[in-house]
Amino acid sequence: MQNTILITGGSGFIGSNFILQWIASERTPVVNLDKLTYAGNPRNLQRVSSDTRYCFMQGDICDRDLVHSILERHKPRAVVHFAAESHVDRSIRGPDDFIRTNVNGTFCLLEEARAYWMALARQDRELFRFLHVSTDEVYGSLDPHDPPFCETTRYAPNSPYSASKAAADHLVRAYFHTYDVPTLTTNCSNNYGPYQFPEKLIPLIILNARKGKSLPLYGDGQNVRDWLYVEDHCEAVRMVLARGRIGETYNIGGWNEKRNVEVVDTICSILDDLCGNDPVLPHRTLISFVKDRPGHDRRYAMDACKIEHELSWKPRETFESGIRKTINWYLQNEAWVNEVTAGNYRQWIATHYS
């Protein structure tokens, strides 16, 4: 076994932040297996693309022969599984890819990882880890006065996306209990930060506001999400990988519950200060309440006490510091923005918001 880790979905939003952080801090080799769907972008990893510790393999996690050969060739000490279809609205319009990648893809990886792990020498078997990255959405929706989700909260997924992630979580759990594969699962709240594809709320609002386009809030805008800066999430995943107890799940959250309307209002105020020459000012006049998402979960909130007590992880960023960093990143990375908002993106926006 080598000191390499295999990342799936490393060219997406969280995976690319994870790889950049890993190369800068852990300094050991990373193999990135990514299909490069609309959400994957090799430009995110330009900074490490010629680093000898970084190896990119374009491919599908559902391709078992490919997964098998990557495991045999690189002999990783861990698999960190980010690859997924991740956008709830797309899962409502077309769930097929979500079942294929999130459920069948996770199953393929687990099967190949199990065979690889079983063939390892005894001391390597003890060191190997399969870390599955999941979401708080598997727990369903909270009422305003409910306590936040904890690791023992009953699963109650409501969207095709969250149902597919829940199915994957159950498979991971089964591979630990049935076959002893040393798994770890993390369930995280909503992330935001650099490289997030602008179909998700925060980057969509930043980009639309700058262009004087309307800022669509679903329903009454009172839905609550618990926001976490992406680098904090990546650090938490690294800690779980290094010191998490096998077979366990860890909830990761920002202790940052915000109503959507508050999030959009905060972005608008910061942009009013930073971008005084934008076509429409103040930016909040662009807010428009639009038809609600079907089955829209009202509130998510995470109790992240277990990871804090066991692994001493706490988020470093507040929402106020993280959102400023994020806005500045989008302002400073116009070339990235222009590239990802060309082509298919326009089609998605036109169809979804028409």
Rg, the chain, Cα only? 20
CA proximity to 326, closest of 195, 237, 212, 200: 195
Q: Which lies closer to ligand NAD via its Cβ, residue 88 or residue 286?
A: 88
Cis? peptide before 160, omega within 30° of 0: no
Active site residue 273: no
Q: Which residue, 67 or 323, has its beta carbon nearer to ligand TYD?
A: 323
156 binds ligand NAD (CB under 6 A): no
Burial class (CB in 10 A: 0-12, 13-18, 19+), 126: exposed
According to DSSP, the residues that pair with 192 across neighbouring strands are: 229
Distance between CA atoms of 104 and 260, rounded to whole angstroms?
33
Concerning whether 195 is annotated as a catalytic residue, the answer is no
Site for ligand NAD (CB under 6 A): which residue of 101, 153, 159, 185?
101
In this structure, what token pair is assigned to residue 120?
Answer: 């390892």
Q: How far is the C-alpha of 130 from the C-alpha of 170, rounded, in Å? A: 14
Pick from 31, 70, 79, 83: which binds ligand NAD (CB under 6 A)? 83
Q: Which of residues 66-125 bind ligand TYD (CB under 6 A)?
A: 88
Least separation, in Å, of the C-beta of 45 and ligand TYD? 23
Identify which of residues 35 and 129 has a Cβ nearer to ligand NAD in the complex.
Answer: 35
Our finding on whether 225 is near ligand TYD (CB under 6 A) is yes
Q: Rule CB under 6 A: which of 183-212 touch ligand TYD?
A: 190, 200-201, 204
Task: Give the C-alpha separation, 287 to 194, whole Å.
Answer: 23
Binding of residue 141 to ligand TYD (CB under 6 A): no
CB of 48 to ligand NAD, least distance (A): 15
Nearest CA to 8 among 88, 62, 73, 87? 62
Three-class secondary structure of residue 56 per DSSP: strand
> Which one of ligand TYD, ligand NAD, none interacts with residue 225, CB within 5 to 8 A by kind?
ligand TYD
Q: Looking at beta carbons only, is 107 or 286 nearer to ligand NAD?
A: 107
* Residue 181 in tokens: 């594969």
- Residue number, 166 or 286, with CB nearest to ligand NAD: 166
Does position 237 interact with ligand NAD (CB under 6 A)? The reply is: no
75: how many CB neighbours lie within 10 A of its CB? 15
* Residues forming the site for ligand TYD (CB under 6 A): 88, 190, 200-201, 204, 216-218, 223, 225, 260, 293
